[in-house]
A and B are shown apart, each in its own frame.
Chain A
Amino acid sequence: MYAKEMVKQSLPLIVLCGMGAIVAGSTLSLMAELFEKIPGLIVVIPAIIAMRGNISTALGSRLGSAYHLGVIDSDNLWSNELKQNVFGSIVLGFIVSLIIGIFAYTSSVFMGRSPDPVIIISIVVIAGILSALILTLMTIAIIFLVFKRGWDPDNITGPALATFGDIVTMICIFASALIFVGVAT
Chain B
Amino acid sequence: MIYSWKKIVKHGLPLLTIAVLVEIFAGQILQNYETELIGRLLIFLISIPVVNSVAGNIGSVLGARLASGLHVGYITHSLKDKEMHQNLIVSLLIGFFTYFMLAIVIYFGASFGNIVGNIALIEFVSVIVITGFLLICVVAVVSVLTAFTSFKRGLDPDDTVAPVVTTVGDVMGIVFLIVIMGIFGVGI
Contacts and interface: CB of A to CB of B under 8 A. Distances in A.
A11 B91 CA distance: 10
A108 B102 contact: no
A45 interface: yes
A51 B16 contact: yes
A96 B20 contact: yes
Contacts of A40: 31
Given A50-B166, A87-B5, A44 B27 contact: yes
B24 A11 contact: no
B125 interface: no
B1 A28 contact: no
Given A6-B61, A35-B34, A62-B3, A28 B48 contact: yes
Contact of A95 (B9, B26, B83, B87): B9
Most chain A beta-carbon neighbours within 10 Å: one of B13, B24, B86, B89 = B24
Given A13-B57, A19-B105, A111 B28 contact: yes
A49 B171 CA distance: 13
Interface size bucket, A side?
Answer: 35 or more
Interface in B1-43: 1-9, 12-13, 15-17, 19-21, 23-28, 30-32, 34, 38, 42
Given A18-B50, A88-B3, A162-B53, A47 B27 contact: yes
A66 interface: yes
Interface stretch (A99-107, A130-138, A176-184): A99-107
A17 to B, nearest CB: 5
A10 interface: yes
A104 to B, nearest CB: 6
Contact of B31 (A14, A29, A87, A108): A108
B24 A26 contact: no
Contacts of A19: 102, 105
A100 B20 contact: yes
Contact of B9 (A1, A91, A108): A91
A6 B27 contact: no
A18 B54 contact: yes
B131 interface: no
Interface of A: 1-4, 6-7, 10-11, 13-15, 17-22, 24-26, 28-29, 32, 35-36, 40, 42-47, 49-51, 53-55, 57-58, 62, 66, 69, 71, 80-81, 84-85, 87-89, 91-92, 95-96, 99-100, 103-104, 107-108, 111, 113, 159, 162, 166, 170
24 contacts: A3-B83, A14-B57, A14-B98, A19-B105, A20-B53, A21-B50, A42-B34, A43-B30, A43-B31, A44-B27, A45-B30, A46-B174, A47-B20, A47-B24, A49-B49, A51-B23, A58-B12, A66-B3, A88-B12, A92-B9, A92-B13, A111-B31, A162-B56, A170-B49
Given A11-B94, A88-B3, A159-B57, 15 more contacts: A3-B83, A3-B87, A13-B57, A18-B53, A25-B48, A28-B46, A44-B24, A50-B166, A50-B167, A51-B19, A88-B4, A88-B7, A103-B20, A103-B24, A108-B28
Interface of B: 1-9, 12-13, 15-17, 19-21, 23-28, 30-32, 34, 38, 42, 45-50, 52-54, 56-58, 61, 65, 69, 74, 83, 86-87, 89-91, 93-94, 97-98, 101-102, 105-106, 109, 113, 115, 162-163, 166-167, 170-171, 174
